[in-house]
């Protein structure tokens, strides 16, 4: 019996296993982020948003929708992917993955694919939830989906790296809490970069999150803080960087193999 060159059953096993875990913890996976995001709409969209003048022709409540979806996408992609690979390391079941006939590419496809699927599903649920509060218009649906998928993939790849790197649960939490969430809040999720005075406007442009939120918001309302091409290039570049780091991890066995 010769071994096939591609272990599709292996990828599917990992993917299904990860998705099953999300279904087991549906409340934690889906309901909690939806409630949190709804609260953002109540506070920022209704309470504060009613006092804000429109962002161009877009009502403030609608303006923050892409930023809120991105915020969820970043944190959920990171959490799902990092936890997915960290948990077998923590419990010791990683031995099975390392001794199985699965390539690094297949392992990453299974884990990152499942993490991205979960975060995209959540992003779409939040979008549907937002439509109950504010009118939403998507000007470029193809690019909206493209940004959604690419950003979910990029942050799931990043989360996978964090999961390999982390030695404990605190480290799993540290990057999303200490780096990603602050950068997202400072990255134009709730305001347009144009509203900032100098030099903060220039400083903000060094925040990569600005480019991701801006590109995604452009797909909704056709307005962007930075050129859309640059947003797309940065997203693809981030994916490529994460893939290069993951390739190095598997080549050296960093925190996977002794």
Partner 1 sequence: MVPPVISIRNLSKVYAGGDEALRDVSLDIARGEIFALLGPNGAGKTTLISIVCGIVTPTRGTVVADGHDIVRDYRAARRKIGLVPQELHTDAFETVLATVRFSRGLFGRPPDDGFVETLLKDLSLWDRRASKMMELSGGMKRRVMIAKALSHEPDILFLDEPTAGVDVELRRDMWALVRRLRDSGVTIILTTHYIEEAQEMADRVGVISKGALILVEEKKALMRKLGKKQLTLNLAEPMLRVPPELADWHLALNADGQELLYVFDANEERTGIPSLLRRMSDLGIAFKDLHTRESSLEDIFVGLVSTRSGQ
3 binds partner 1 (CB under 8 A): yes
| Residue 245 Cα distances to 32, 92, 162, 169, 193, angstroms | 32, 23, 11, 21, 31
102 binds partner 1 (CB under 8 A): yes
Q: Using omega within 30 degrees of 0 as the cis cutoff, is the peptide bond preceding 199 cis?
A: yes
19 binds partner 1 (CB under 8 A): no
Among 34, 52, 97, 183, binds partner 1 (CB under 8 A): 97
The dihedral through the CA atoms of 5, 10, 12, 18 has a sign that is negative
- In the complex, minimum distance from the CB of residue 97 to partner 1, in angstroms, rounded to a whole number: 7
Per-residue interface string for the shown chain with partner 1, residues 103-132, x marking contact by CB under 8 A: x-----------------------------
- In the complex, minimum distance from the CB of residue 93 to partner 1, in angstroms, rounded to a whole number: 5
Strand partners, 58: 55
Among 35, 98, 128, 139, binds partner 1 (CB under 8 A): 98
Query: DSSP characters for 23-73?
Result: HHTHIIIIIHHHHHHHHHIIIIIIIIGGGSPPBTTB-HHHHHHHHHHHHHH
1 binds partner 1 (CB under 8 A): yes
251 binds partner 1 (CB under 8 A): no
- In the complex, minimum distance from the CB of residue 156 to partner 1, in angstroms, rounded to a whole number: 20
Among 20, 23, 35, 124, binds partner 1 (CB under 8 A): 20
Q: What is the CA radius of gyration of the chain?
A: 19
Measure CA 153 to chain center. Answer: 7
163 binds partner 1 (CB under 8 A): no
Rule CB under 8 A: which of 23-82 touch partner 1?
A: 24
Strand partners, 55: 58
13 binds partner 1 (CB under 8 A): yes
23 vs 179, beta carbon nearer partner 1: 23
- Torsion over CA of 120, 122, 123 and 128, rounded to 10 degrees? 130
249 binds partner 1 (CB under 8 A): no
Pick from 72, 159, 173: which is nearest to 122 by CA? 72
Site for partner 1, rule CB under 8 A: 1-5, 7, 9-10, 12-14, 16-17, 20-21, 24, 87-88, 91-93, 95-103, 253, 257-258
């Amino acid at each position: 019996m010769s071994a096939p060159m591609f272990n599709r059953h292996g990828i599917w096993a990992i993917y299904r296993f990860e998705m099953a875990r999300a279904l087991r913890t549906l409340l934690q996976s889906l309901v909690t982020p939806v409630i949190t995001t709804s609260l953002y709409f109540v506070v920022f969209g209704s309470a504060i948003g009613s006092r804000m003048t429109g962002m161009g022709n877009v009502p403030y409540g609608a303006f923050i929708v892409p930023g809120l979806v991105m915020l969820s996408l970043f944190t959920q992609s990171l959490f799902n992917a990092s936890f997915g690979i960290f948990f077998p390391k923590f419990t010791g079941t990683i031995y099975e993955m390392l001794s199985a006939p699965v390539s690094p590419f297949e392992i990453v496809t299974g884990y990152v694919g499942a993490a991205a699927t979960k975060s995209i599903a959540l992003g779409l649920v939040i979008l549907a939830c937002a439509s109950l509060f504010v009118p939403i218009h998507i000007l470029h649906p193809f690019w909206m989906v493209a940004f959604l998928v690419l950003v979910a993939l990029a942050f799931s790849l990043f989360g996978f790296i964090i999961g390999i790197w982390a030695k404990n649960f605190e480290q799993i939490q540290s990057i999303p809490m200490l780096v990603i969430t602050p950068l997202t809040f400072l990255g134009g999720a709730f305001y347009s970069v144009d509203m900032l005075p100098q030099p903060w406007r220039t400083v903000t442009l060094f925040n990569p999150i600005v480019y991701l939120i801006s590109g995604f918001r452009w797909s909704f309302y056709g307005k962007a803080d930075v050129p859309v091409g640059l947003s797309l290039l940065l997203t693809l570049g981030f994916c490529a960087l994460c893939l290069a780091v993951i390739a190095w991890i598997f080549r050296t066995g960093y925190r996977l193999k002794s």
